[in-house]
Structure formats: structure tokens, C-alpha cells
Amino acid sequence: MAGGACDPAFRGGANLLTWAVFRGGREEGRDGAMSGNHPEIREAVAALCAGFPGEYWRKLDRERAYPTAFVKALTAAGYLAVLIPEKYGGSGLGISEAAAILEEIHKSGCNGGACHAQMYIMGTVLRHGSEKQKKKYLPKIATGELRLQAFGVTEPTSGTDTSRIHTTAKRVGNKYVINGQKVWTSRAEHSDLMLVLARTAPRDEGKKPHEGISVFLVEMRQALGKGLTVKPLRAMINHATTEVFFDDLKVPSENLIGEEGKGFRYLLDGLNAERILIAAEALGDAEWFIDKAKTYAGERRVFDRPIGQNQGIQFPIARAYAETQAAKLMTEKAIRLFDSGQACGAEANMAKLLAADASWNAADMCLQTHGGFGFAEEYDVERKFRETRLFQVAPISTNLILSYIAEHVLGLPRSF
């Protein structure tokens, strides 16, 4: 990943200082810094991903099919249970290891979007579920016997304003009856369990608009056809996303997570982990684009020279590298704070913002570096280009992060 071979200071009349820094055409320690911490985890993940090359993802993309074999391999290797405590059958590791896994998946050209939720949405059950719920579900989630891949938050009419969701859950005896609709519920067809956000009290009844929302764990295999309908939603990328309809779906009251009415608070509690892990995926994408562009720029000859000899090609690659490194530093800071139990809302949000921007800029650069071939399916650039665009919108859009920084970090007036 180091840019040493193309470094102009090294090749043309370098002074002593540059020689010291760029010894052997590589900045010292550069490879280590780029590949990051947990080298043994990264190596093992990269080895697993090597079994799922571009042609595997291309075929799935064409058919809009789910990467079942890839997800099974990650599950069998224990990577999706990394955040589950050992007492519930997981590895009990931190967000640092989870981020390394997802970054490496994306850096290898694969996509963690098919299963990343299995890693972290169980956090809602872990933090707020009863001991009975944890014992019942977490060990099976850890082995992959039960897949908890789906979290239904977004609705067609509420948009980012979760306080305005219309899905309701009414208590009737020892059950809740759920009615409503979700959209963009990813992986619902490939999950056994789904977390669902529903209103248990009207919006105007509480002191704050977000009160009165609750979280339920729906056992999908029992619910399908009995009040639960899942419809695939074809999208720009292969993300196994769906529309979900609830029509008098009955859920046992014991499947309420935590206290009634506090669901939005529980959702917020999981957001920092989500932001950091999505940042890690975006970083992995950025690294993939930079590597792909660097390789192509060195090989493609036009006007009797490699295109990478032209500064017009080099500079965008160098800029993408610098932006990615900066985003990586912010992500590492967020990880350090998170894993030591400190507040990290600002850092986690900034990491996601910067990493999503770095990956999108790197994608654009990589496509441009490839010229017409960037559009050809077989190079994988156009697929990754479409995939990495998602990070600007989901799971949280860039504007909403900027709004968070403006209001909560800079103290600017609340805008909504």
C-alpha cells in the first residue's frame, strides 16, 4: 500500500532528509501503519476472504443473491461472535478486533454488509435484555444457529426522524400485537430473529418525542405468514434489503427488550459501535480502491509510459491515501475511547463521516484511474463504487452526522 515506488522525492534528486525518511523507497513503518493492529486476525481474515474472489461477488451481484457461503465461513471461523462475551459463547473481544475484521473483509474486496449486523445488533440484547433472554439467544447467535441479522427501524413515512415511526405494538394479555411497516430492513430473508422498533405509546404522550418507543425481538420463523410478510426490495447494490409488513403480528410479552417505552434510548446506546464498525468497512473499501488504482496505474501503458508516471494520475491516488490515513487515525481514536469505556460520540461520528468521505473519494479516483475499464464489470471497480456510495446515506446520512457535530460538539443552535 505504500506509495514509495512512485514517490517523486525518492527518485529525482532526493536530499539527505528525504533519503532518511524514504529509505528504500518506502517510508519507514508505513506498511505497519496501513495494515493496522491485530495482524494475526487480519491475516486470517484475509486468508478466508481469498477464497471469495471478485468473480464470486460478481455472480451474486448479477443475480442479487445472498453470499451464503461467505457468511457461513465467517460464522464458522467465529468472526461474527467476536463481540459476544465468553460466558455466552462468543470470543469476548473488543470493538478494536471487530473493526479489524470488517476493515480486512472490505480491503480484500469482499463485503461485510451481508452479515455485519450479526456482529453488533445483538448489543441491544446484551446491554438491555434480561438474563433469561441473554441465555436463550446469545449462545445460539454465537454459534450461528440463530441469525440475528435484521433491525427494523426505518419506515417509509418517518425517514430519519425515528420519533415519527407509525408501527405500533399494543399489549393484549401476555402478548404484544404489532401493526405497521418497515422499509430497507436488510437481511430479513436471511435472519431468524429481527429486532423491531415500535410505538407502545403515542408520540405526544411522553415528555419527549422519542419516549414511548419499544424494542421487540421477533422470532421470524414462527412469525412468517402469521402477521409478518417480507418482500425483497431491489436496489442499486446487492444488500438483501426488504420491506417488512406487520399485520396483527403477535409477539410474546417476554420478547420485549428492556423496559417499555425506552427503545429509542437503547437504539442510541448501540450507535457508537455501529458508527465505528461502518467506518472500518469504509476504510477497508478505501484501501481496496487505492491498491487497485495504484496497481492499474503502474501497469496500464498509454503514450508509451505507465499512466502512473503522470502526476495527474498520481496526485488523486496520493490524496486518497492521505485522506484514508487521516480517517483511520480518527477511527483508531474512537476505538480507543470506546474500548476503554469512555464517551466517544463525537469521535465515532467523525470517524464514520471521514471514512465514508475517504472511501467515496477513493472510489471516484479509482474509477477515473481505470478510464473506460472502470465501468467494466470484470474489474470489480464499478461494483465496489456502487457499494461504497451507501456509506453516505446509511446507516446514517452525512448530513445527520454534520448536524450532530454542529449541535452536540460545537454547541450551535438545534436545527430540528
Ligand X SMILES: Cc1cc2nc3c(=O)[nH]c(=O)nc-3n(C[C@H](O)[C@H](O)[C@H](O)COP(=O)(O)OP(=O)(O)OC[C@H]3O[C@@H](n4cnc5c(N)ncnc54)[C@H](O)[C@@H]3O)c2cc1C
| Closer residue to ligand X, CB minimum distance, 46 or 394 | 394
184 binds ligand X (CB under 6 A): yes
151 binds ligand X (CB under 6 A): yes
| Closer residue to ligand X, CB minimum distance, 75 or 154 | 154
Query: 145 and 176 in contact (C-beta within 8 Å)?
Result: no
152 binds ligand X (CB under 6 A): yes
| Closer residue to ligand X, CB minimum distance, 46 or 235 | 235
Residue nearest to ligand X (CB): 159
Long-range pairs for 245-248 at CB < 8 Å and ≥24 separation? Answer: 245/181, 246/167, 246/178, 246/179, 246/180, 246/181, 246/182, 246/196, 246/198, 247/179, 248/177, 248/178, 248/179
Shortest separation between residue 194's beta carbon and ligand X, angstroms: 10
Contacts with 348 (C-beta within 8 Å, 6 or more apart), sequence order: 271, 272, 273, 275, 276, 279, 334, 338
| Closer residue to ligand X, CB minimum distance, 35 or 191 | 191
Give the Cα separation of 74 and 118 in Å (integer).
Answer: 11
**Nearest alpha-carbon partner for 154 in 360, 416, 393, 321:** 393
Shortest separation between residue 117's beta carbon and ligand X, angstroms: 7
| Closer residue to ligand X, CB minimum distance, 183 or 297 | 183
Stretch that binds ligand X, among 38-46, 181-189, 265-273, 292-300 (CB under 6 A): 181-189
212 binds ligand X (CB under 6 A): no
| Closer residue to ligand X, CB minimum distance, 184 or 321 | 184
235 binds ligand X (CB under 6 A): yes
Total residues interacting with ligand X, rule: CB under 6 A: 22
| Closer residue to ligand X, CB minimum distance, 112 or 395 | 395
Member of 153, 169, 215, 335 binding ligand X (CB under 6 A): 153
Q: Kindly list the distances between the CA atom of residue 174 and the CA atoms of 137, 170, 250, 338, in Å, as whole numbers in the listed order.
A: 20, 11, 10, 38
| Closer residue to ligand X, CB minimum distance, 80 or 390 | 390
3 binds ligand X (CB under 6 A): no
**In terms of DSSP bridges, do strands 148-152 and 193-199 run parallel, antiparallel, or are they unpaired?**
parallel
Map the footprint of ligand X across residues 388-407, applying CB under 6 A: 390, 393-397, 399-400, 403
| Closer residue to ligand X, CB minimum distance, 239 or 294 | 239
Shortest separation between residue 112's beta carbon and ligand X, angstroms: 13
Map the footprint of ligand X across residues 101-120, applying CB under 6 A: none
Stretch that binds ligand X, among 178-186, 246-254, 275-283, 311-319 (CB under 6 A): 178-186
200 binds ligand X (CB under 6 A): no
Give the Cα separation of 329 and 319 in Å (integer).
Answer: 16
Phi and psi based region of residue 13 (left: phi greater than 0; alpha: psi -120 to 50; beta: remaining): left
416 binds ligand X (CB under 6 A): yes
Query: 289 and 384 in contact (C-beta within 8 Å)?
Result: yes
Member of 106, 239, 328, 384 binding ligand X (CB under 6 A): 239
Please report, as ranges, the residues that interact with ligand X according to CB under 6 A.
Answer: 151-154, 159-160, 184-186, 235, 239, 241, 390, 393-397, 399-400, 403, 416
